[in-house]
Amino acid sequence: MKMRKITLLCLCFLLISCNGRPLPPPPPPPPPAPSILNHLLRPLATSILTAVINLIISKIIQDIYERLNPVFNYWNIEEADF
């Protein structure tokens, strides 16, 4: 009950102090402060992700080369039997 009275008093005070005008918008929140950990982890994560992607691509290319190597060896003119 006491909380309702306080809330009602606050609302009445706001209405009287505004004098019928709308309240000004609240100021925008301050931007988050850059953290040292964020500056260190972002480049590290980017470089690790790049290394993993490069490794996956190189493994795929190596697998394709190993599968096609007998075909290339068969078509090699130097080793062909004439």
For the chain, the C-alpha Rg in angstroms (whole number) is 35
Most confident among 20-24, 34-38, 78-82 (mean pLDDT): 34-38
Specify the 3-state DSSP secondary structure of 37. helix
Model confidence over 31-60: pLDDT tens digits? 887 777 777 888 889 999 999 999 999 999
What secondary structure letter does DSSP report for 76?
Answer: -
Question: Per the structure block, which two tokens stand in for 22?
Answer: 């709308």
How much is the pLDDT for 32? 80
Higher-pLDDT residue of 68, 74: 68
CA 4 to chain CA centroid, Å, is 45
Determine contact, residues 14/23, Cβ cutoff 8 Å. Answer: yes
